[in-house]
Amino acid sequence: MTLRVVQWTTGNVGRRSIRAIAANPTLDLVGCYVFSEDKDGKDAGELAGIDPVGIKATRDASALLSLSPDCVNYNPMWPDVDELVRILEAGINVTTTAAFITGHAFGNEDRARIEDACKRGSSSIIGSGMNPGFANLLGLVSAGICDRVDSISILESVDSTGYNSPETELPIGFTRPPNDPALPEMVRSGTAVFGDAVYMMADALKVDIDDVVCESNFAVATEKLELGYMTIEEGCVAGIEASWQGRKQGRTVIDLRVRWRKGQALEPDWPLEHGYLVEVEGQPCVKTRLEIRPPKDFKATSFEDYMQLGMIITSLPAVNAIPAICDAAPGIRTYADIPIVTGAGFVK
Tens digit of each residue's pLDDT (9 = 90 or more) over 226-245 = 999 999 999 999 999 999 99
Q: Is the dihedral of CA 3, 67, 110, 107 positive or negative?
A: positive
- Output the pLDDT for position 348: 77
Residue 212 pairs in a beta bridge with 246
Pairing status of strand 211-221 against strand 237-248 = antiparallel
Which runs of E-coded beta strand occur in the chain?
3-8, 27-33, 71-74, 93-96, 124-127, 148-159, 211-221, 225-226, 231-232, 237-248, 251-261, 266-267, 275-283, 286-290, 331-333
Nearest to 2 by CA among 346, 343, 323: 323
CA atoms within 13 A on the CB side of 319: 29
Tens digit of each residue's pLDDT (9 = 90 or more) over 141-195 = 999 999 999 999 999 998 988 888 899 899 999 999 999 999 999 999 999 999 9
- Output the pLDDT for position 137: 94
The architecture of the domain spanning 3-128+321-337 is 3-Layer(aba) Sandwich (3.40)
3-state helix, strand, coil in the chain (%, to 5): 35, 30, 40
From residue 231, alpha-carbon distances to 164, 226, 237, 272 in Å are: 12, 5, 11, 22
Tally the residues of the chain. Answer: 348
The model's pTM: 0.91
Nearest to 348 by CA among 291, 297, 290, 292: 297
The Cα–Cα gap between 259 and 318 comes to 24
CB 318 within 8 A of CB 129: yes
- Output the pLDDT for position 303: 66
Residues of the chain under the 70 pLDDT cut = 303
Count of C-beta atoms within a 10 Å radius of residue 332: 21
Secondary structure (DSSP) of 59-89: S-HHHHHTT--SEEEE--SS--HHHHHHHHH
- Output the pLDDT for position 97: 95
Nearest to 31 by CA among 99, 86, 98, 92: 92
**Domain locations in the chain as residue ranges:** 3-128+321-337, 132-298
Over the chain, what is the mean pLDDT? 95
